[in-house]
Amino acid sequence: MIAQNQPKVDDKLGFIQKVIDTGDYDVAVKESCTVFEIVFKKIFKQAVSSLSYKDREYILEIEKKIGKGNKGVEDFGFGELVGLFRESDLMNKWATHTSKDLGLLRTLNFSSIVSLRNKIVHDGITCSRGEANLVYEYLRNLLAILGFADLDSSINNSFIKNTESVVEEASTQIALPDLNSLPVVKKEARQKSHYSSSHKGEEERLILQAKNYEEIDQEVFQYIMSNLAEKTDLVVLDLGCASGVVTYERFSQFENVKHVIGIDFNENKIKDAKNNYENEKFTFFHVDIEADDFVETIRSKLSDIGIEEIDIIFSAFTIHHLEKPMKALLKIRNLLTRGGYFAIRGSDDGSKIAYPDDQNLIGTILELTSQIEGVSDRENARKQFYQLRRTGFKNIKTFYNVRDTTALNTEERHNLFTENFTFRYNYFKNRLKNHPDNTRYRQEYEWVKNALEEIELMFLDESFYFQEIHYCAIGRK
């Protein structure tokens, strides 16, 4: 039986189809390959217990050869599994043993899928919808032949000797698509955030934010450093460093950090970072993480300063501004050395609660912000574990820190208001600037402006309670 915590096959297929429909083609290919790995390992185990002694001996020899005597099939990756099945001729041996027609299962060529997956995982290259669909259809054909349901029982049953065709009807119902005939579907992607660290008041707000998040950052970095204690020349990459304040403050204290590179797409902020913090330990570059050549650009710049590996990548409130966060995370993982850590800091409007707020000003402004054109993902923190796990990170750990107004003085209360609310004003102001004749936009702008003034006064009332949760998640490559 399948373990209770293992997703049903049809649920897994539904997820893969969903991510194809939403345009996350790279994730669809990776998820399809993960299912292939599960199926191949189960088929292999059943084969070595069901086939003739001669066939079993030959298959085990091929396993030993591919694993170089150091690992078995349980530790094989997708490419190694495909190589094992190809070199051992396992499919044909299976068909001969059972006297069954395995249909397309004997003829499917997985080499191209291995090549595509490797380009996505190791080279940061993206795939098309057609390629993702093709891999998905390969998987569906394989599962159709096995019977779709419980993988263990389906594979076990498929090794039982009989003279009947396995599932000839099912295998003929699902035809491999003609890649050239697939329609070109343009994905309606999540819009890239219009946020800019150059917006009015943002420099001050980001400094306050850095101070408020210092506690959770210290906890995260101490944890990472303790797990990398054997290395004394760590290299850190800070994605979305803005003017470099946090980059410098967080990492200048660690003696085992040899070099820190900060990058940001805001060229003016990078100039500020260079002027204020660049030295023999800190280097800053103007780079756009969503550029197609992002990985190549970073590697080239690292090579210019004599750096080959990145041990730690840190990103504070950056990924949720991107149009394709999952694609960015794949690139980020590609840059890390094996065993390296990625730390992503985020926030979530769903964690913000307040009382009293009789007019529901805070709830309304949070809702309006989530709907406005060009806003960042206001629910990003709750997605961090999922995003890291789906893009291949392991040993994921989440950190939380609750901050509220109960023990804050007047200045600290005002700082908490500034951190959480003043940036929202810029979204409405800029939208109205771009659409000056839109009556609704003007009404919302005026309402938000007045509401923020009232909320600011609420924060200064010592009886007013406000709470937010700070989030940071880390994953290891």
Q: What angle do CA 246, 250, 252 make, to 5 degrees?
A: 115
3-state secondary structure of 222: helix
Locate tokens 């096995």: which residue? Answer: 146
Residue 189 within any structural domain of the chain: no
Instruction: Say if residue 239 is in the same domain as residue 164.
Output: no
The answer as to whether 194 is a domain residue is no
| Whole-angstrom distance, CA of residue 103 vs CA of residue 92 | 11
Same domain for 215 and 364? yes
**316 and 241 together in one domain:** yes
Residue finishing a domain among 113, 147, 180? 180
Q: What is the pLDDT of residue 172?
A: 35
Look at residue 97 and tell me if it is in a domain: yes
In a domain, 75, yes or no: yes
Number of domains observed in the structure of the chain: 2
Whole-number pLDDT of residue 101 = 58
Closest CA to 346 of 318, 375, 381, 388: 381
Residue 215 sits in the same domain as residue 101: no
| Residue 301 confidence (pLDDT) | 94
The answer to whether residues 402 and 438 belong to one domain is yes
Tens-of-pLDDT digits for all 477 residues of the chain?
333 444 455 667 788 888 888 888 889 898 888 888 888 888 888 777 777 777 788 888 888 888 887 888 888 888 888 888 888 887 777 777 666 555 555 556 677 888 888 888 888 888 888 888 888 888 887 777 665 444 455 545 555 554 343 333 333 333 444 444 444 444 444 566 666 666 767 777 777 787 888 899 999 999 999 999 999 899 999 999 999 999 999 999 899 999 999 999 999 999 999 999 999 999 999 999 999 999 999 999 999 999 989 999 999 999 998 989 999 999 999 999 999 999 999 889 999 999 999 889 999 999 889 888 888 898 999 999 999 999 999 999 999 999 999 999 999 999 999 999 999 999 899 999 999 998 888 888 999 999 999 999 999 999 999 999 999 999 999
Residues 256 and 394 in one domain: yes
What's the distance, Cα to Cα, between the start and end of the chain in Å?
A: 31
Domain that holds residue 127: 9-180
Q: Domain check: are 258 and 151 in the same one?
A: no
What CATH number should be reported for the domain holding residue 403?
A: 3.40.50.150
Residue 176 three-state SS: coil
255 and 119, same structural domain? Answer: no
Q: State whether 176 and 211 are in the same domain.
A: no
Helix (H), strand (E) counts: the chain: 19, 8
Do 236 and 155 share a structural domain?
no
Residue 341 φ/ψ region, left for φ over 0, alpha for ψ in the -120 to 50 degree band, beta for the rest: beta
Place of tokens 């939403």: 22
**Structure-token pair, residue 48:** 């070595």
Residue 105 covered by a domain: yes
Are 161 and 105 contained in the same domain?
Answer: yes
* Rounded (10°) CA dihedral 409, 415, 417, 419: -150
Which residues have C-beta within 8 Å of that of residue 420, sequence separation ≥ 6?
Answer: 352, 468
Distance CA 145, CA 136 (A): 14
Q: Does residue 152 sit within a domain?
A: yes
- CA distance linking residue 227 with residue 364, whole number of Å: 43
Whether 76 is covered by a domain: the verdict is: yes
pLDDT at position 145, please?
A: 64
Question: Is the Cβ–Cβ distance between 340 and 312 less than 8 Å?
Answer: yes
The last residue of one of the domains, among 134, 150, 180, is 180
Shared domain for 106 and 237, answered yes or no, is no
**Residue where a domain stops, chosen among 145, 180, 215:** 180
Domain assignment of residue 331, yes or no: yes
Hey, which residues does 469 pair with through a beta bridge? 402
Q: Can the peptide bond before residue 356 be classed as cis, meaning omega within 30 degrees of 0?
A: yes
* Integer-rounded Cα radius of gyration of the chain: 27
Residue 352 burial (C-beta neighbours within 10 Å; 0-12, 13-18, 19+): middle
